[in-house]
Structure 1
């Protein structure tokens, strides 16, 4: 099943040789994501400032700004510092290339010629992480809207349309709307917690535990409202 345009993530491939870019596009084609080309480090940085990328595949040996310098510049910018970078290099690479790559913030390192299946697998890990992060950000934004009252629920809309209702009926509708809003907040917190539980690492687990505590506290408040 193909991915809709709104659900697709973007992958940036950077190499000064056109045939290498063509080969990378062919390998990544089955992932059904948007693949953007850059022929130099400078072009890559401009592309990353224009749009969001899930992962960057970056050739090490390029004229001018090489892969190490490009990676270092990517990590210096607040807008791009969290984008994972996979460095690519030839078989004649120096033995310290991997060390230098990780030192500038690369997430992974592959030597050409690489196994297409292995490359797709590594890229897919970062695509999945990017999808989860987007879901988490969307849930957090929806929760923020609920907490500050920016969201417009059906109950709120109906209450606005019933402007001429009696005061007692308005109070009842307000209480029902408050309980419904608390229920939706609990549901959003539960969804955020599940996304965090799927992530590895102590930080995600600790944050998920705190979200769980908030979930129980809001649920208790919802029950009292009812």
Structure 2
């Protein structure tokens, strides 16, 4: 199971000046994603609690809650702390801006006026990362479901909803049990489930190895070990 790469993502753009928001929308529209506006830090936080965003573009100089304070609040909340934030600054910035931003977990800085290609490239990187993380989450959920199903060792049901190795009274009277029912059918079904689990583990390992981050290689190695363990449970071809 995989997440389509064409999935549309939501991007939050935050600026107290409408003209700046319009300019950002024009620059980002070629990416074909959903753009959501916010005119203040407070409005941005409310929007992020209502829906998921792949990335936030946040202006530094805003009345009330400025960009640094807004970013700090984003990183403080469990629901939003993993959303990457790109701070948008003017041409003349204070020397401590970078230190202040990175110290609270900001992912990147962009200086106005923006280079359209650079802006879209940086945003595209976070869009790809967001999609990969969603794909990994979907794979992990399917693996959890497959492990749960395999652990119960319950054979699948037929088209009528009847468990394969437990024929109804009518079926028992009218014909003998089919050869594929009983423990052998359960074993074959379990092997099929294990093979499916192994395939899912291989896909997760590939995604982890292709994902940036210090923990990804370690996780990939652990998944590979689990994949080998599952493979050892399958019968060897004669």
TM-score by length of 2: 0.86
- C-alpha distance in 1 between matches for 2:212 and 2:235: 33
1:150-189 correspondence to structure 2 within 5 Å: 156-158=156-158, 160-161=161-162, 162=164, 163-164=166-167, 166=177, 169-189=181-201
- C-alpha distance in 2 between matches for 1:134 and 1:194: 14
Aligned length: 220
- SS at the partner of 2:16? coil
* Matched residue, 1:9: 9
For structure 2, the residue ranges without an aligned partner over 5 or more in a row are none
1:14-63 residue CA offsets vs partner (Å, 9 max, x unmatched): 00000110111111111111111000000000000000111000000000
Q: Please report how far the alpha carbon of residue 225 of structure 1 lies from its aligned counterpart in structure 2 after TM superposition.
A: 11
* Matched residue, 2:21: 21
Residue 98 (str. 1) matches residue 98 (str. 2): yes
Could you tell me whether the CA contact under 8 Å between 1:59 and 1:87 is conserved in 2? yes
1:1-226 correspondence to structure 2 within 5 Å: 7-149=7-149, 156-158=156-158, 160-161=161-162, 162=164, 163-164=166-167, 166=177, 169-223=181-235
Cα distance change of structure 1 residues 182 and 59 upon mapping to structure 2, 3 Å threshold: same
- C-alpha distance in 2 between matches for 1:66 and 1:192: 39
For structure 1, the residue ranges without an aligned partner over 5 or more in a row are none
TM-score by length of 1: 0.91
- C-alpha distance in 2 between matches for 1:167 and 1:50: 54
Q: Please report how far the alpha carbon of residue 223 of structure 1 lies from its aligned counterpart in structure 2 after TM superposition.
A: 2.1
More helix by share: 1
Structure number with greater Rg is: 2
- C-alpha distance in 1 between matches for 2:184 and 2:80: 49
- C-alpha distance in 1 between matches for 2:29 and 2:54: 15
